[in-house]
Structure 1
Amino acid sequence: MLSNQNRRAALKNILAGTATVAAAGSLASFTTSKMESANLALKGNINHSVCRWPYNEFSLDELCIQAKKIGIKGIDLIGPKEWPILKNHGMDSPMCNGAEISLTEGFNNKKYHEILVKNYAEIIPLVAKAGYTNLICFSGSRAGMDNETGWNNCVEGLKKVIGLAEKHKVVLVMELLNSKRDHKDYQCDRTSWGAELCKRLGSENFKLLFDIYHMQIDEGDIIQNIRDYNQYIAHYHTGGVPGRNEIDDTQELYYPAIMRAIVKTGFKGYVAQEFIPKQKDKLVSLKKAIEICDV
């Protein structure tokens, strides 16, 4: 945390023109990013977004400015308090948050239903009023629960808010996360599990967030699963495997082929970059990722 605070403080000094000599290297890198990220011409087959959290050292204003320069149209995982910032920059909020409790406390456990229903009932109308569509949700941890119990509990909880989502034309989107490495015991850890939940709810206002990184770890067969389950997918996240770093040739997935498979399904939603940049200049890494995914 201290490191992130120091980086944010250094960036503020740079932008204010009061950086110390020690921050000069950061300024040069930041300036280079701005110059190199300008005027990127894209093909328009993919709607590009980026998740907020890997770039927390930048203010949301600055991230919007730089993201727009490389053809990014939206910022993921932003809640109601910061939507006005996105609107000031003409940016979308392709995957809203703010109603969830946590990744581990989700709809598969009845003891969280009361607070989840309250939260989602409050946020769903706000999403609609802001002109957005997708609102994230989570299954929660198994905690010894079998699949059938998890599905039944999720259906019971989600049915209490899905009618409101339908009324406001908001889509509740459950994220697929790996339970092997990053989110031990998470229940919605296979595309087939999420798809079965979609079928049981039977609403076009409940779909899945297909995180490519997570699903490569837990199930693989990425392109075939995209083909088989695309009707249940509302959104995609990226990340290099292993490590969730850059999606370049340092990792095992070939993202151009994955993006072409997504386009071929007729998908019109967003693909959001959610890798953790290892390179010193994060904006250069982000620009490269957009170029890789622009098929």
Structure 2
Amino acid sequence: MSSITLSRRTLLRGAGVAGALAAVAGNSAMSTAIAQEAPTTLKGNINHSVARWTFGDLSVDELCTLVKEIGFAAIDLVGPDDWPTLQRHGVDSSMCNGAEISLEDGWAEPDNHAELIERYLRYIDLVAEAGYTNLICFSGNARGMDPEDGLKASAEGLKQIMGAAEERGVVLHMELLNSKVDHPDYLCDNSAWGIELCARIGSPNFKLLYDIYHMQIMEGDVIRTLTDNIDYFGHFHTAGNPGRNELDETQELFYPAICRAILDTGFTGYVAQEFIPSSDDPDTAAEALRAAVMTCDV
């Protein structure tokens, strides 16, 4: 989605990373060590994915090649223009995007409803016709509104498209984002607000995208929260905190335990890597993705 890609890609390390990661390009330009390595043997308990924007300087074709080299087959945050490429590679669009206006302008503002309803009804059909399930949405920023008013407006707007989503088998996921570091003023910045929205909408086709990195910043208590409320969570994102980098010993979240807790709930959706590689070296970035998937492969 262009609005998100442009804002989030500024978090990458500038032109140096762009040039380095571009070198991880399919079988011809990818390093011999990565390209010739056999796919990782995964346990099959966790459905793995990776957010497209975190490797945004690879083409979609190149990213598909990389994920298949590692041994999984799903990419998050991909819109209709790139679905044919995923389909050629046998890679799932595990979280579709493109219907949103922006991260800041979402369902909490009634003035956005007419445009959002039109966009989401169109995308619900596109997602269903492509054979996909998940479509992302956002609360938008508070801009001084009371959280209760934002809940009321969001529920009223979203209810107008839920019938179409249910009919077409599409599940809308509102992402939980932190408002402390990355997305100042974002309204859906805590699990309790999002869970209450789910309760008010009352549809199995409306869930929360629980971003572990964001919710560690806002509220912590990750394992208890996801265990107690798994019925409301339809998708997970990862990243190390602090820094939003690799899932390694430099950060405070212990992802093997988190993913084991997710697995123990019976969750069958996707766990998508959304960390920013800290190295400019293309081989190192590719290996970081491999290592993150293995860390979460409980």
Q: Please identify runs of 4+ aligned residues in structure 1 that moved more than 2 A.
A: 8-12, 14-17, 29-36
Question: Which secondary structure does the structure 2 equivalent of 1:42 belong to?
Answer: coil
Given the two structures, how large is their TM-score scaled by the length of structure 2?
0.90
- TM-score by structure 1 length? 0.91
Does residue 106 of structure 2 align to residue 103 of structure 1?
A: no
Q: Does the 8 Å contact 1:227/1:265 carry over to 2? A: yes
Moved more, 59-68 or 41-50: 59-68
Equivalent residue number for residue 34 of structure 1? 35
Describe the shift of the 1:146–1:171 C-alpha distance in structure 2 as closer, same or farther (beyond 3 A). same
SS at match of 1:128: helix
Contact 1:8 1:58 in 2 (8 A): no
Residue type matched to 2:243 in 1? G
Aligned length: 283
Cα displacement string for residues 90-120 of structure 1 (whole angstroms, at most 9, x for unaligned residues): 0101100010011110000011111100100
What letter matches 2:50 in structure 1? V
For residues 278 and 43 of structure 1, the distance between their equivalents in structure 2, rounded to whole angstroms, comes to 27
Q: In structure 1, the residue corresponding to 2:78 is in which secondary structure?
A: coil
Q: Find out whether 1:248 has 2:248 as its counterpart.
A: yes
Measure how far apart 1:147 and its partner are: 1.6
Structure 1 unaligned segments of length 5 or more: list them.
Answer: 18-26
Aligned partner of 1:287 among 264, 271, 290: 290
In structure 2, C-alpha distance between the alignment counterparts of 1:231 and 1:203, rounded to whole Å: 11
What is the letter of the counterpart of residue 83 of structure 1?
Answer: W
Gap change, CA 1:50 and 1:150, over 3 Å in 2: same
CA 1:249–1:113 in structure 2 vs 1: closer, same or farther (change >3 Å)? same
- Where does residue 19 of structure 2 map in the other structure? 7
Q: Secondary structure at the match of 1:157?
A: helix
Following the alignment from structure 1 to structure 2, what is the Cα–Cα distance between the partners of residues 230 and 100?
25
Q: SS state of the match for residue 148, structure 1?
A: helix
Partners of 1:243 and 1:7 lie apart in 2 by 22
Q: Deviations over 1:224-280 (max 9, x none)?
A: 000111000110000000010001111101000000000001000000000001122
TM-superposed deviation, 1:184: 0.7
Pairwise CA distance, 1:30 = 2.7
User: SS state of the match for residue 48, structure 2?
Assistant: strand
What is the aligned-residue RMSD (CA, Å)?
Answer: 1.9
Query: 2:187 aligns to what?
Result: 187
Task: Report the equivalent of 1:89.
Answer: 89
| 1:143 maps to 2:146 | no
- Paired residues of 2:173 and 2:206 also in contact (CA < 8 A): yes
Any conservation in 2 of the 1:4–1:57 contact (CA below 8 Å)?
Answer: no
Q: How far did residue 4 of structure 1 move?
A: 6.5
* Post-superposition offset of 1:9: 9.8
1: CA distance, partners of 2:96 / 2:210: 15
Q: Which residue in the other structure is 2:265 paired with?
A: 265
Query: Tell me, which stretches of 5 or more residues in structure 2 are unaligned?
Result: 1-9
Which structure 2 residues correspond to residues 25-174 of structure 1 after superposition, within 5 A? Answer: 30-36=31-37, 38-174=38-174
Which amino acid in the other structure matches residue 15 of structure 2?
S
Q: Is the 8 A contact 1:49 1:94 kept in 2?
A: yes
Conserved in 1, the CA contact under 8 Å of 2:67 and 2:73? yes
Q: Distance in 2 between matches of 1:31 and 1:39?
A: 14
Instruction: In structure 2, give the amino acid aligned to 1:30.
Output: S
Letter in 1 for 2:296: C
| Bigger CA radius of gyration | 1
